Structure 1
Amino acid sequence: MRYLNYYRCVTKLWAPAQTSRVFTVTSLHTSVQHLHQKKVMADDKPWALISEVGERGYLEEVTDIMKRHFRIVCYRDFLENARSHGPKIQALFVWNACPPAEPALLGSLPSLKVVSSGGVGIDHLDVPYINGLGVKVTNTPGVVSDATADMAMGLLLASARKIVEGHLVAVDPRTTHIPQSLMGVEVTGSTLGIIGMGHIGYKIAQRSKGFDMRILYHNRHRRSVEDEQAVGATYCEAMEDLLREADFVVLVVNLTPETTGLISHRELSLMKPSATLVNVSRGLVVDQDALVKALQTGAIRAAALDVTHPEPLPRDHPLLSLPNVLITPHVGTNTYATMRRMVERMVESAAAAVKGLPVPNEVTPK
C-alpha cells in the first residue's frame, strides 16, 4: 500500500512536467514556423531602391513605412553590387532628386515598374523618357502644401521684420543697445502678389488673409469666383500689373521651360523699390544675376529665398554676402508630419504600380 501511494504521488508530480515539456516543444515549433513565415513574407516583398537613411536621405522612422511593403536597398549598396541587385528592383523612390532617375541607372533596372518621387516638382525627371521604358512616374501633391505655405509666410515675415538680424543682435555679447537699422516694414494691410495660384499658392492666400493683406494673383488659368471671394483675391491677367503693385511678390510656380528665368531684369525693374521677392518654387525661376544687381542697386528692398540654383550656392556667390537677402536651404517641406505623409503617399503609389493596380498621383506628360 505504501508503494502504491508513492507511485501515485510520483505520477501526479510528473504529469505536469510532461505537459509543460510538450507545451514548450510545441511553442518552440510554432515560433520557428512563425519566423519562417515572416522570412518567406519578407522574401516575397518587391525590391525598392532608395537614396539612403540618415542625414542625406530618409529619417530612420519613415523607412519603416517602406519596409512594410518593400525590401529596400540603399543607393550606395546598390552601386557595390549593381549586377546582382539591378534585375530585382521594381520601384525607385526619389528623394531630393536622388537616386538620379537618369538613363544610366534606369538602364540597369530591367524590372522597374515605377519611379515614385517625393514632392510636387518633377523637373528632375524626364517623364516621357521614363514612360517610354514602360515605367510609371508618381509624385506627392497636396501633402506638401501646408508646410510650403507656412515656409513662404515665414520667409516673408522674417524678411519684413528682420527677425534673423534681430536674433544676431540679441545674442551678440557686444550688444549694448538696439540699432535703428532693425526697423522693418509693415506686413498687415500690405499688398501681396502671388505668382502661381495652385494648391500651395492658394494656401498662402488663406494665410495672408489673416494679416488683412490685399491679395493679387497671376496664374495660367483664373480660379473660380468662389475661390477668389473666399480669400479676397484679385486676378491679374498681366503679371506686370501685379509686379507694379505688390509689396511682396511670392513665386509658387512649377519649373517648366516657360517659367525658367520668369523673373529677370525687366520684371525686377517693374517692382517697387520697397518690394520684397519671396521664392519657394525653384531657383531657376529667377535670373540670379539679375536679382543680385537689383538688390545691390536698390531696385527692390529685399529677397527671401528657400530655393537657389545650384543648391547649395557656391560659397563665394554674391547672394550670400548681401545684407538684404535671407536664404534657407530648400526646407519648405521639412516637417516630421509632412515627411511622413510624403513617404506614405510614395509607398501607396509604388505598391499599386507594382501590383498592376490603378496608380494614385500618377504623373503623365502634358
Structure 2
Amino acid sequence: MPQRKKPHVVVTRRLPGAIETRMRELFDTRLNIDDAPMSREALTEAVGQADVLVPTLTDTIDAALIEKAGPALRLIANFGTGVDHIDVEAALARGITVTNTPGVLTEDTADMTMALILAVARRIAEGARVIPDDVEWAGWSPTWMLGHRITGKRLGIVGMGRIGTAVARRAKAFGLSIHYHNRRRVAPSLEEELDSTYWDSLDQMLARMDIVSVNCPHTPATYHLLSARHLKLMKPEAIIVNTARGEIIDEGAMVRQIEQGALAGAGLDVFEHEPAVNPRLVKLARAGKVVLLPHMGSATVEGRIDMGEKVIVNIRTFHDGHRPPDRVLPSML
C-alpha cells in the first residue's frame, strides 16, 4: 500500500527543539529558524502553500489573510490556548478547522498570577533591585520597604475557568478569601472546596475586593471588561493583576487610576498593545507602583513542550480523517 503524503506544515515561530524534531519526522515541516515574527507577506505566502499553519499569538490571522489561503489549507493548529488573534468564523466559512492547546498552561499561569500578587503586595520587585543596583542600604529598619500582608485579604477572580480555579486553590492556601465573577456559577462542590463567594454582578464584587485577578479569555465580549467605570469602583488600596490578555483592561484608565492614587498598584504580564508597553506604565514601575513582566506566564520548558505535543496530536488526528480533540468553534468564544 503506498505511503500517504505527509501534510505540508508551516510553523511561524521557533518551538522547543524536541517538538521541532518530532514535527520534522512526522510532517513535511517548514520551521522558522530565526524566530523572528513573520511579516504579513510571509504569512500570506504561508497560507497560500501550507496544508497546516501553526501560528502563535504574535501572528494576526484575520479574515483578509484567510481569504488569501490556498485550497490546500485545511487546518490552523494554534500553538497556544488563546485564539483572539485568529478569525475563527472566517476560517470556518472557508472550511478551515482551527485548534488550540487548552489545559497545558493552567498551572504555570496560576503560579505566575500568585507571584505577581506577592510581588506587588510585598514590593518584591523593588526590593530585588536594591542590592544589584547598588542602592544605598543602611540595613534593616522597622519602617523601610513596608508592603502588605495578603493573608486575610479578599481576592476577586474575574473568570473562574481552569486558570481562575487554579489561582483560587493557590490563593486559599495563602489564607485569602476567594470571590469570583463568571458567566456561569461553578459547581457547588467546587465552591465548597474553595469556600468561595459568587458574584453575578461584577460591579458589586470589584467594590469589595483587596486584590483583583483577571483570568478570563479575551473575546469581543470581554474587551475592556474592566472599563474606566469598573476600575473607579475599586478601593484605592486595592491592586489588580492580569495574566490573561491586556485588552481585557482599559489600560489607559488603569494607568490614570494608579497615577492619581485611586488604585494602589498592578501586576501585569500582558499589555493592551504588546509588544509595545505604555511609557507611563514603565514610569510607574520605576516608581514601585506596578510590576511588569514580558508575557512570561506560560514560559516554562514543560509548558511549551506540552503545547507542542498537543499541536502534533491535533495535526495527526486531523490528517487521519478524524475530528481533532482541541477544535475551536465560534460558539465557544
Contact in 2 for aligned 1:278/1:303 (Cα 8 Å): yes
CA deviations 1:96-116 (Å, max 9, x no partner) are: 233746533662432011101
- Counterpart Cα distance in 2 of 1:64 and 1:99: 26
Q: Does residue 357 of the first structure (1) align with residue 318 of the second (2)?
A: no
- Counterpart Cα distance in 2 of 1:280 and 1:65: 30
TM superposition shift of 1:45: 2.1
CA deviations 1:46-71 (Å, max 9, x no partner) are: 11011133xxxx23332123223212
TM superposition shift of 1:89: 1.8
- Counterpart Cα distance in 2 of 1:161 and 1:136: 45
Letter aligned with residue 92 of structure 2: N
Q: Structure 1 residues 71, 216: closer, same or farther in 2, change over 3 A?
A: same
Q: Name 2:218's counterpart in structure 1.
A: 255
Q: Name 1:313's counterpart in structure 2.
A: 276
- Counterpart Cα distance in 1 of 2:28 and 2:173: 46
TM superposition shift of 1:354: 2.1
Match of 2:237 among 274, 283, 295: 274
TM superposition shift of 1:319: 1.0
TM superposition shift of 1:318: 0.8
Q: Does residue 304 of the first structure (1) align with residue 261 of the second (2)?
A: no
Aligned length: 320
- What SS is found at the alignment partner of 2:220? coil
- Counterpart Cα distance in 1 of 2:92 and 2:65: 16
Q: Name 2:77's counterpart in structure 1.
A: 116
Letter aligned with residue 106 of structure 2: S
Letter aligned with residue 59 of structure 1: P
- Counterpart Cα distance in 1 of 2:43 and 2:80: 29
Q: Structure 1 residues 174, 202: closer, same or farther in 2, change over 3 A?
A: closer
Q: Structure 1 residues 51, 301: closer, same or farther in 2, change over 3 A?
A: same
- Counterpart Cα distance in 1 of 2:60 and 2:262: 40
Q: Structure 1 residues 357, 247: closer, same or farther in 2, change over 3 A?
A: same
Match of 1:59 among 16, 24, 39: 16
Structure 1 segments, 4+ long, off by >4 Å, are 75-83, 85-88, 178-181
CA deviations 1:16-59 (Å, max 9, x no partner) are: xxxxxxxxxxxxxxxxxxxxxxxx97x93211011133xxxx23
Q: Does residue 230 of the first structure (1) align with residue 187 of the second (2)?
A: no
- Counterpart Cα distance in 2 of 1:327 and 1:207: 21
TM superposition shift of 1:199: 0.8
TM superposition shift of 1:365: 1.3
- Counterpart Cα distance in 2 of 1:78 and 1:94: 13
TM superposition shift of 1:329: 1.2
Q: Name 2:257's counterpart in structure 1.
A: 294
- Structure 1, 167-176 or 183-192: larger mean CA deviation: 167-176
Q: Which runs of 5+ in 1 are unaligned?
A: 1-39
Q: Does residue 45 of the first structure (1) align with residue 2 of the second (2)?
A: no
Letter aligned with residue 336 of structure 1: V
**TM-score, with length taken from structure 1:** 0.81
Match of 1:329 among 279, 294, 299: 294
Contact in 2 for aligned 1:113/1:354 (Cα 8 Å): no
Match of 1:107 among 65, 68, 88: 68
- Counterpart Cα distance in 2 of 1:333 and 1:216: 24
- Counterpart Cα distance in 2 of 1:80 and 1:247: 46
Q: Structure 1 residues 351, 99: closer, same or farther in 2, change over 3 A?
A: farther
CA deviations 1:163-184 (Å, max 9, x no partner) are: 1110111223242325745211
CA deviations 1:299-334 (Å, max 9, x no partner) are: 1100111110211225x6211111201111111111
Q: Which runs of 5+ in 2 are unaligned?
A: 33-37
What is the aligned-residue RMSD (CA, Å)? 2.4
TM superposition shift of 1:81: 12
Contact in 2 for aligned 1:51/1:99 (Cα 8 Å): no
- Counterpart Cα distance in 2 of 1:65 and 1:245: 50
Contact in 2 for aligned 1:66/1:347 (Cα 8 Å): yes
Letter aligned with residue 134 of structure 1: G
Indicate the structure (1 or 2) with the bigger Cα radius of gyration: 1
- What SS is found at the alignment partner of 1:68? helix
Q: Does residue 173 of the first structure (1) align with residue 130 of the second (2)?
A: no
- What SS is found at the alignment partner of 1:150? helix
Contact in 2 for aligned 1:280/1:305 (Cα 8 Å): yes
Contact in 1 for aligned 2:116/2:267 (Cα 8 Å): yes
Q: Structure 1 residues 241, 305: closer, same or farther in 2, change over 3 A?
A: same
- Counterpart Cα distance in 1 of 2:180 and 2:47: 47
Contact in 2 for aligned 1:90/1:354 (Cα 8 Å): no
**Structure 2 matches for 1:215-226, cutoff 5 A?**
215-226=178-189
- Counterpart Cα distance in 2 of 1:88 and 1:294: 48
